[in-house]
Amino acid sequence: MNTDRLVVVGNGMVGQRFVDALRARDTDRRWQVTVLAEETRPAYDRVRLSAFFDGVSADELNLHTPDDGVDLRLGEPATSIDRARRVVGTATGEHPYDALVLATGSSAFVPPIAGADLPGVFVYRTLDDLEALREHARGRRTGAVIGGGLLGLEAANALRLLGLTTSVVEFAPRLMPAQVDLAGGALLRRYVEELGVTCHLGVATTALRPGPDGTVAGLELADGTVVEAELVVVAAGIRPRDELARAADLPLGPRGGVLVDATCGTPDERIWALGECAAVDGVCHGLVAPGYAMAEVVADRLVGGAATFAGADTATKLKLLGVDVASFGDAHGTTPGCLDVTYVDPATRVYAKLVLSDDASTLLGGVLVGDASAYPTLRASVGGPLPGPPLALLAPAGAEGTGLAALPGTAQVCSCNAVTRDDVEAAIAQGAADVPALKACTRAGTSCGSCVPMLKQLLDAAGVRQSTALCEHFDASRRELFEIVRVRGIRTFSQLVAEHGRGRGCDICKPVVASILASLGGGHVLDGEQASLQDTNDHFLANLQRDGSYSVVPRIPGGEITPEKLIVIGEVARDFQLYTKITGGQRIDLFGARVEQLPQIWRRLVDAGFESGHAYGKALRTVKSCVGETWCRYGVQDSVGLAVALELRYRGLRAPHKLKSAVSGCARECAEARSKDFGIIATETGWNLYVGGNGGFRPRHADLFATDLSTEALISLVDRFLMYYVRTADRLQRTAAWIETMDGGLDHLRAVIVDDSLGLCAELDAAMNRHVTSYSDEWRDVLEDRDRLRRFTSFVNAPDVPDPSITFTEERGQPVPAVARTTPVALGMPEVRR
């Protein structure tokens, strides 16, 4: 069979999507594909680029799936096109083509401002840009962004996350001028400034000034203002990468870009262009959804189809600096004779505008700021009849669920992937019973995810329902929430509750979400909004006692401690008059500390080399051990060494409930490993792993899971066991109950984490690796941060006054609470029948 040679220039989101689409359609394997990429990384999710600063790794942004039929040449950019000979040149050779697809994307536009080439001035385009920016931010305090559009505000948020005091300079009189109108922009500005980002609007940047070290130090604005900035991001727009086409004498659009018609073809019938570098009928599209649509068009044409590009949905919904902003259709009301319906609620700080046709019957577009819950329904209705009375659509209370019934079957539910209501309902009829299933078979919700609430509504409307609701604020279970947060890269409770829940949360869902965010590496538990979600124990990183005082537990890995450290604990306890007790987990608990004493106590402990023991968290507590072969005449393995290694590996891992472990050095089992969530017992030749044990209210012996493991194999299994538990258990479900309620029980667990039956192991391994490498002592991090330390105050207006209600009396030579005990919460105790 004949094969034709296809060369794709560019491996961005759209280039990759094109290759995927072509490979899916080219069932005859007609095309032999070569991809020439400038970057050294395969395609990644540029839309979520900013998630990089929230701790999402470059790997997680990856969009590229290995394909043996595609020759992907990273770091080998195309440098020329010879149309006569039909070859693309690179620095290292030539690639002949029968068809050539240009997917070169765009580059950041840097306006000709004096000083724009200073060190410390960045663009915000690639992962390499972001890495360089993060490196430069280290140790610096101030930053500025030139450009208050979508990308500029994303960059501003990134600078905030890097700890810089941030300013935004925008030439237009409002933020996000392309998407939002003046009133919406004003509200957006209020939100943004409340986050500490200073906005300079309606003013041009005239120069960037260097500091004494030659790196950028500030911005001069046209109105004479000088803005201090040791790091500057230029986000003033993008320009299509059309230089290859230009040099090959292909026609360009009036504002640049490779000129193509609705087939995405250039006048040279062998050359196509798509994505941000293409000017379709003269117009460039800077969003990913139109690029994806072009990718489908060209893929179809290359296998003999006749698809055309029908125009672009420029709708945008995003969370910028914690604010929901959405814009869709004719947001600026440029259609002749169109009408506006505007809803402004200063109390809830919501702004919404609908643009209607002159007879008020057809929805043309709109803008939402502050609450974008109506976005999926509204966007899908653009160009059709209004799905309800305008006010009912806009008022936040009426937004959810309104109008779904009125939505025609041909309306696009997911415009990123062009999935209609009919498509979704057909998938439901064929048995898709939840959102993940719908995503898998329709691709709806797999790009920006904003239609996920609508997918749920469509499932509900079809009668598919199961209540695993976490609480009145979330219909999802903990396990489902975990997936939502993980897949969508959600970093805050407020985003989660706005998009996937209702109300303001409670003492059930807030700690659950805090734990999920922490499990996914959401940064320090006291940073930003996360602090407000924490139960008091996690909030003060100590254990609340009945009198309002707290207890402190430094980590003593494996229960092994030097005399010097024992002395420090004794001295701290003596100096702060703390009650001390040895715990069941082989460490020492110090009781009776007031909140304002906690940092002083921890300063001493951290200085002596201690770190948080996480006794306060739903997290790994201890790995208890017997003394093992080092001393014991029966021991067959180094149980203390393994316990220390395990405790250091899993310390700080936030989980649905606390986790306990133990290692015994021989079958006599002195460490009581079988009463633990994961227990290890030494054999002559290795280790036996037991899982799902429990002490406590309902004791359960752990089940034997695997035998005679090498240390390496053991750690790999425990990694996966813990991560699978973290991902899938219910709230406050210990591993014992988790395994008991699991469909298929222990066999299923074995299939998943030993045989990789769900194909999850690589992800679980990566997640654990991320946990291990990103671990940082929570208490040390508090002591180094004034903002976090500020929380440890007795009274906001009298920080020097200790809480007078906390008083002690003496019992057996130690301080104990002086206040009488009240009746504790009763647990049902078993009775003995006589």
Stretch that binds other proteins, among 159-167, 168-176, 498-506, 675-683 (CB under 8 A): 498-506
Strands 350-356 and 339-345: antiparallel
In the list 504, 581, 668, 701, the residue contacting other proteins (rule: CB under 8 A) is 504
Q: Provide the 3-class DSSP secondary structure of residue 201.
A: strand
- Tell me: does residue 491 bind other proteins (CB under 8 A): no
Stretch that binds other proteins, among 497-505, 599-607, 660-668, 673-681 (CB under 8 A): 497-505
CB of 228 to other proteins, least distance (A): 22
- Tell me: does residue 226 bind other proteins (CB under 8 A): no
In the list 24, 566, 751, 801, the residue contacting other proteins (rule: CB under 8 A) is 801
CB of 532 to other proteins, least distance (A): 4
- Tell me: does residue 809 bind other proteins (CB under 8 A): no
CB of 786 to other proteins, least distance (A): 14
In the list 65, 334, 532, 757, the residue contacting other proteins (rule: CB under 8 A) is 532
Q: What is the DSSP letter of 471?
A: B
Q: What is the DSSP letter of 324?
A: E
- Tell me: does residue 546 bind other proteins (CB under 8 A): yes
Helix, strand and coil percent figures for the chain, each rounded to 5: 30, 25, 45
- Tell me: does residue 610 bind other proteins (CB under 8 A): no
Residue 796, Cβ neighbours under 10 Å: how many? 7
- Tell me: does residue 506 bind other proteins (CB under 8 A): yes
53-82: which residues touch other proteins (CB under 8 A)? none
In the list 17, 174, 189, 473, the residue contacting other proteins (rule: CB under 8 A) is 473
| Token couple for 47 | 């839309």
Stretch that binds other proteins, among 201-209, 288-296, 508-516, 642-650 (CB under 8 A): 508-516
752-771: which residues touch other proteins (CB under 8 A)? none
Stretch that binds other proteins, among 35-43, 428-436, 527-535, 612-620 (CB under 8 A): 527-535
- Tell me: does residue 2 bind other proteins (CB under 8 A): no
- Tell me: does residue 826 bind other proteins (CB under 8 A): no
- Taking the CA atoms of residue 596, residue 600, residue 605 and residue 610 in that order, the dihedral angle to the nearest 10 degrees is 50
In the list 67, 507, 756, 784, the residue contacting other proteins (rule: CB under 8 A) is 507
CB of 506 to other proteins, least distance (A): 4
Q: Of the two residues 372 and 717, which places its CB atom closer to other proteins in the complex? A: 372
| Token couple for 80 | 């020329």
- Tell me: does residue 730 bind other proteins (CB under 8 A): no
Phi-psi region of 61 (alpha: psi -120 to 50; beta: other; left: phi over 0): alpha
Q: Check if the beta carbon of residue 369 is closer than 8 Å to that of residue 180.
A: yes
| Token couple for 140 | 């610096």
| Residue in 657, 608, 646 with CA at minimum distance from that of residue 624 | 646
Beta strands in 490-576 (DSSP E): 543-544, 550-552
Q: Of the two residues 282 and 528, which places its CB atom closer to other proteins in the complex? A: 528
In the list 539, 587, 649, 658, the residue contacting other proteins (rule: CB under 8 A) is 539
Identify the bridge partners of residue 244 per DSSP, sorted by sequence position: none
CB of 800 to other proteins, least distance (A): 11
Burial class (CB in 10 A: 0-12, 13-18, 19+), 83: middle
770-799: which residues touch other proteins (CB under 8 A)? 793-798
- Tell me: does residue 825 bind other proteins (CB under 8 A): yes
Q: Check if the beta carbon of residue 178 is closer than 8 Å to that of residue 328.
A: no
Residue 706, Cβ neighbours under 10 Å: how many? 18
Q: Provide the 3-class DSSP secondary structure of residue 494.
A: helix
Stretch that binds other proteins, among 90-98, 372-380, 525-533, 650-658 (CB under 8 A): 525-533
Q: Check if the beta carbon of residue 821 is closer than 8 Å to that of residue 546.
A: yes
Q: Check if the beta carbon of residue 148 is closer than 8 Å to that of residue 170.
A: yes
Identify the bridge partners of residue 44 per DSSP, sorted by sequence position: 62
In the list 535, 763, 781, 785, the residue contacting other proteins (rule: CB under 8 A) is 535
In the list 460, 472, 575, 756, the residue contacting other proteins (rule: CB under 8 A) is 472
Q: Of the two residues 199 and 514, which places its CB atom closer to other proteins in the complex? A: 514
337-356: which residues touch other proteins (CB under 8 A)? 348
- Tell me: does residue 544 bind other proteins (CB under 8 A): yes
Beta carbons within 8 Å of 212's beta carbon, 6+ residues apart? none
| Residue in 40, 214, 204 with CA at minimum distance from that of residue 121 | 214
Q: Check if the beta carbon of residue 370 is closer than 8 Å to that of residue 350.
A: yes
Beta carbons within 8 Å of 639's beta carbon, 6+ residues apart? 625, 626, 627, 628, 629, 663, 664, 665, 671, 680, 682
Q: Of the two residues 529 and 672, which places its CB atom closer to other proteins in the complex? A: 529
- Tell me: does residue 511 bind other proteins (CB under 8 A): yes
CB of 590 to other proteins, least distance (A): 19
Burial class (CB in 10 A: 0-12, 13-18, 19+), 417: buried
426-465: which residues touch other proteins (CB under 8 A)? none
Annotated binding site for siroheme: 670
As a whole number of angstroms, the distance between CA 574 and CA 831 comes to 42
Annotated binding site: 626, 632, 666, 670
As a whole number of angstroms, the distance between CA 811 and CA 12 comes to 69
- Tell me: does residue 548 bind other proteins (CB under 8 A): yes
Backbone angles phi, psi at 152, to 5 degrees: -60, -45
Annotated binding site for [4Fe-4S] cluster: 626, 632, 666, 670
- Tell me: does residue 536 bind other proteins (CB under 8 A): yes
CB of 490 to other proteins, least distance (A): 17
- Taking the CA atoms of residue 256, residue 262, residue 268 and residue 269 in that order, the dihedral angle to the nearest 10 degrees is 160
Stretch that binds other proteins, among 8-16, 368-376, 420-428, 535-543 (CB under 8 A): 535-543
Per-position x/- string for 662-701, each x denoting binding to other proteins as judged by CB under 8 A, each - no binding: ----------------------------------------
- Tell me: does residue 600 bind other proteins (CB under 8 A): no
Query: How many residues contact other proteins, by CB under 8 A?
Result: 36
Residue 759, Cβ neighbours under 10 Å: how many? 8
Q: Of the two residues 596 and 765, which places its CB atom closer to other proteins in the complex? A: 596
Beta carbons within 8 Å of 181's beta carbon, 6+ residues apart? 174, 331, 332, 333, 353, 367
As a whole number of angstroms, the distance between CA 137 and CA 11 comes to 29
In the list 98, 672, 785, 803, the residue contacting other proteins (rule: CB under 8 A) is 803
Which residues lie near other proteins (CB under 8 A)?
A: 348, 472-473, 503-507, 509-511, 529, 531-533, 535-536, 539-540, 544, 546-548, 793-798, 801, 803, 805-806, 819, 822, 825
